[in-house]
Structure 1
């Protein structure tokens, strides 16, 4: 047990020298749990902690020297108790508890500071069980492009909503996808652990962000969960550089699970493998493979429930439900035109949509009550349904394709044959299978394409994209999101001499998308395009124009994307027209085959190409 309480002792009756000798004799600096608690990883012939905040360390070289940090921690543990909540025992309870147990020290002879904040927090959280929570990705949120993971700590309370959540996230106020991606790629955000009521996060994800939530109950014992919470407490207010690809929300949570059960080996495999990224869905796979998951639960978001309820009604009934919720139409007229079952469904949908609008502050409280209460009264008078209609459970995120992808292909461009190699670090393309991912969301980070032309014995870089995001969020009677896209990197297009030349390109746009039935998505966008090249007279060319496209799910394994557009440039005046038909057929979860045909015209030079490629996910 951790020493605590108001009856503070007068000081330790054991000296630091003898404890440090015991630390060396028992080689505690090499112990697995010590490395986990300090987030050490092997680097060269030594170690380095992933924690970047100097406040986490007591030794000047504590970030890279486990032995020095352990010796300094022993000194801090023996400090006088008058430091209160800032004493080592209070501020770093997982470390101090491990030291006490490893050194076989009687806690009663140590300093006994009054750890008010720590004890209150531990009593409030009341750790009994743990659940790994995955809020799915959301099209219109840059901060949620990959999904997210956090931990819910179950307590002795019966309601799960009264439990607490442990969250690690980047501190950011940026809403621009390109800026967010750039800063996240290069670790320009600080990441922090926080503990907060679970219902707040669930409401944020479900009501405000349209994000479905998956919950994976873990088979940790109460004492293991307690140690996990103690370690999360000592990480409070401690900053680390947040990187999208590795030191992110999902990877850092694995250290908490290893602190709970040190024999787990969840983080090292990510250092050992070839790929250098950690995707939230990857960590779910790791936790399942470690045998930690005992139950999976799906919580559809409020928006998903609304969309499902609306899909059960015809157009007339949907419009009636919308009119009741938005225009305040009376529910009393329903009996004249709709069956009993349809009336129930219409009012259920109206009630859900009113709740949604109120949660997003789209309707004032007084107006909300005036509309919501009559809807509830009318719905109550109709009785309960014979069978509850559940939202169909989608494919879990961990069962989707792997985030990396490479492809080998062959084709012809302007009568010149070529071989192509395509590589993507992460994460999902519009033509990739949607199972486990958000439909209509393309999120590609660090992708490149290279081509070899045998006729000229020429190997060239075709393009290199740092980021390529395409978010198609369909609009309907109940929701009116904006679709958007952003892409930045090196591109090629025909110039005045007819050659395809590289240039720096940044393209962004916004617009609208609509579902044309369950298997077709139509979109229209207005683009802005910035080109930088020495071949331009003014080194720069800025253009704008429309893009029109349609994404089709032809069969469960076959997808097609037909799109085209035109850009009209100032400065270096020219136009760029393009039309493309892409198709992808899934052969297995590991890969598929893609056929692409395209045409473009720039600087009065036209080029057409066709290519067939074999794709493999990794």
Structure 2
């Protein structure tokens, strides 16, 4: 068991010590990495022979039990049944042992468990031999069952006993073999106390929306809510609930860049934290000011219990944490897969496990049985602002702040008087996108295809996302030029390849007031204004913007949404390098001005003016300039055909006399999948 880590970054979010609401201060805290639970299996548990396992039973004060002929016959029959059914190859057994089979284009069956910790196994080769693990557990079950039958009373087992360490495995194997519930005749004190304290009756998934102002939270966050009450008031349910949070066990001393690299590459371990749910909810709703959606899972009481037993088995494991594949969201799917062998939820997302896609996947498999919306403190303040504006009143900053008391339990409850914001991830478009378009640039015609691994830009359908959300990654566009032009040697061109790009808007005239900013890392094709012929070239580009924004118009009635239109002004700084451009580099500074207009639910428009001033360095080549303005105007329009398809029109003009292809227009079909 590891010591308490008071600085742990959430999957796609950052942890800070949480303030405890005064009204909830009496709640007990269960911190599985701080409390004393079960010690590791004794070293002799790493042996595989029947004699070695029998010796462990003797060491557990059961030496008075002697194997009878009937015991031996039963064990032989059960082993034959296991072999006939090949239970050690059963999907559930492999999942209980953490054999993580991969999905994707070429599915791969894991040859060994992902867990290297010896205490996770009863046998020396358990990481690679599920059959040996099953046989060792079978011997433990039958031995204790025979002892309990002889004593005719429940027997108490030590915490490091196989049945106390691995209750999910033992219950599953006993059920498969028709042995009944061994836990009616044995007691495991720490396990029983842990289960009684949590008293899990229902599991729910909490989804905290994307939060761009904290890059580690940019892709949202999910955790499991453990409900001990399924009836009564929402307040009572929240008060008595716990959160199960799988996160990265990060180092507080690392700066953000190092932290991100270690999180992505698996250098950090994961950590499972179980704490009172109100504390977690307070962080997202009141501190980060993120709206939260909660989804009740359609699991039976037996499935909930089995998941909790499996959490007991795995909660202290130190497994590598990978930001994209082994994170807060993947753990939820893995736990559900343990009790639903017919599903392979985790294999459905083989390349990246994104919280929003997990929610959609649960819905697709009919695993959601109810949902609720908890507005953030910022959304509640905006709702008051909207109401006051509709009534012709004005609320100052102090009045808004006093109206929302962050220490009040009511701020953690769903608000039936407030219409839910249009940010339910179940209503959003799929995150992957492919496009095909035709266009004309400087008189030359072309066809262009594109792909985006995720996520969303401001011309995409906004339903299901935080307002004004703009984040994309792993995008590429390839252009096929017409052959009857002067570009025969460049028929196929990479137009753009984006690693990451995004903008965070916090309009000054809203409850989200603050700085607005943007950043992009990409390779992009640009026109070289230093060149007398203004030819285009592919360059690597790194850009950053910062400024202000305003929300305009009338917000949706009864909601805490901001006004639907957006205008902004951002100062920009950009550096670009490429062999084709003058001097091989250029740096620029300027201003980006723009507005987005939501015409209706299906139609959106966008206009932007970029005013960069570029510098290449002094040039000694005749006709080449070392610095210049290169203004660009851009227009965009998108119409949504349905949730999965849209038509987009884009046009731009570069106000620079040297540019070879200063005018461009394109129409494209976009398919979200």
Q: TM-score, normalised by structure 2?
A: 0.73
Q: Are residues 554 and 30 of structure 1, via their aligned partners in 2, closer, same or farther at CA, if it must alter by over 3 Å?
A: same
Partner of 1:500: 536
Partner of 2:277: 198
Superposed displacement of residue 421, structure 1: 0.5
Residues 419-465 of structure 1 deviation map (CA, whole Å, 9 limit, x = unaligned): 11111011111110111111211121211000011133401111111
Asked if 1:148 corresponds to 2:231, the answer is no
Give 1:588's match in structure 2, choosing from 639, 642, 653: 642
Residues 382-424 of structure 1 deviation map (CA, whole Å, 9 limit, x = unaligned): xxxxx98423453631121111111111111122111111110
Give 1:549's match in structure 2, choosing from 587, 591, 594: 594
| Cα distance in 2 for residues equivalent to 1:303 and 1:601 | 41
Give 1:123's match in structure 2, choosing from 196, 204, 208: 196
Gaps of 5+ in 1: 326-348, 360-386
Q: Are residues 176 and 498 of structure 1, via their aligned partners in 2, closer, same or farther at CA, if it must alter by over 3 Å?
A: farther
Instruction: Please list, as runs of the form range in 1=range in 2, the aligned pairs for 1:85-484 lying within 5 A after superposition.
Output: 85-102=159-176, 115-116=189-190, 118-156=191-229, 158=232, 159-161=236-238, 162-172=240-250, 186-187=265-266, 189-270=268-349, 276-314=351-389, 319-323=394-398, 325=399, 349-353=400-404, 355-356=405-406, 389-394=417-422, 396-454=424-482, 455=485, 456-457=487-488, 458-476=491-509, 478-484=511-517
Aligned residues: 556
Superposed displacement of residue 25, structure 1: 4.7
Residues 2-34 of structure 1 deviation map (CA, whole Å, 9 limit, x = unaligned): x99xx9643686799968776545422111211
| Cα distance in 1 for residues equivalent to 2:317 and 2:416 | 46
More displaced stretch, 443-452 vs 516-525:
516-525
More displaced stretch, 171-180 vs 405-414:
171-180
SS of equivalent to 2:573: strand
| Cα distance in 2 for residues equivalent to 1:79 and 1:502 | 71
| Cα distance in 2 for residues equivalent to 1:305 and 1:499 | 52
| Cα distance in 2 for residues equivalent to 1:179 and 1:599 | 40
Residues 59-97 of structure 1 deviation map (CA, whole Å, 9 limit, x = unaligned): 676555543554576689899999954554334332233
Give 1:524's match in structure 2, choosing from 565, 569, 572: 569
Residues 301-341 of structure 1 deviation map (CA, whole Å, 9 limit, x = unaligned): 22111111110113997644434x4xxxxxxxxxxxxxxxx
Q: Are residues 544 and 408 of structure 1, via their aligned partners in 2, closer, same or farther at CA, if it must alter by over 3 Å?
A: same
Give 2:99's match in structure 1, choosing from 40, 49, 54: 40
Instruction: Kindly indicate whether the alpha-carbon contact (under 8 Å) linking 1:79 and 1:87 is maintained by their aligned counterparts in 2.
Output: no
| Cα distance in 2 for residues equivalent to 1:73 and 1:269 | 31
Superposed displacement of residue 208, structure 1: 1.1
Instruction: Kindly indicate whether the alpha-carbon contact (under 8 Å) linking 2:534 and 2:659 is maintained by their aligned counterparts in 1.
Output: yes
Superposed displacement of residue 553, structure 1: 0.7
Instruction: Please list, as runs of the form range in 1=range in 2, the aligned pairs for 1:505-516 lying within 5 A after superposition.
Output: 505-516=541-552
Partner of 2:131: 67
Q: Are residues 26 and 302 of structure 1, via their aligned partners in 2, closer, same or farther at CA, if it must alter by over 3 Å?
A: same
Instruction: Kindly indicate whether the alpha-carbon contact (under 8 Å) linking 1:420 and 1:452 is maintained by their aligned counterparts in 2.
Output: yes
Asked if 1:30 corresponds to 2:89, the answer is yes
| Cα distance in 2 for residues equivalent to 1:414 and 1:612 | 15
Q: For the aligned residues, what is the CA RMSD? A: 3.9
Instruction: Kindly indicate whether the alpha-carbon contact (under 8 Å) linking 2:229 and 2:237 is maintained by their aligned counterparts in 1.
Output: no
Instruction: Kindly indicate whether the alpha-carbon contact (under 8 Å) linking 1:577 and 1:602 is maintained by their aligned counterparts in 2.
Output: yes
Partner of 1:568: 613
| Cα distance in 2 for residues equivalent to 1:466 and 1:99 | 47
Partner of 1:558: 603
SS of equivalent to 1:526: strand
| Cα distance in 1 for residues equivalent to 2:637 and 2:574 | 26
Q: Are residues 279 and 114 of structure 1, via their aligned partners in 2, closer, same or farther at CA, if it must alter by over 3 Å?
A: closer
Instruction: Kindly indicate whether the alpha-carbon contact (under 8 Å) linking 1:532 and 1:539 is maintained by their aligned counterparts in 2.
Output: yes
| Cα distance in 1 for residues equivalent to 2:479 and 2:257 | 27
Residues 564-609 of structure 1 deviation map (CA, whole Å, 9 limit, x = unaligned): 2233345645344322111111111111111111123689536221
Q: TM-score, normalised by structure 1?
A: 0.78
Instruction: Kindly indicate whether the alpha-carbon contact (under 8 Å) linking 1:322 and 1:477 is maintained by their aligned counterparts in 2.
Output: no
| Cα distance in 1 for residues equivalent to 2:586 and 2:132 | 57
SS of equivalent to 2:221: coil
Instruction: Kindly indicate whether the alpha-carbon contact (under 8 Å) linking 2:594 and 2:609 is maintained by their aligned counterparts in 1.
Output: yes
Q: Are residues 112 and 521 of structure 1, via their aligned partners in 2, closer, same or farther at CA, if it must alter by over 3 Å?
A: same
Superposed displacement of residue 490, structure 1: 1.1
| Structure with greater proportional strand content | 1
Partner of 2:46: none
Q: Are residues 38 and 511 of structure 1, via their aligned partners in 2, closer, same or farther at CA, if it must alter by over 3 Å?
A: farther
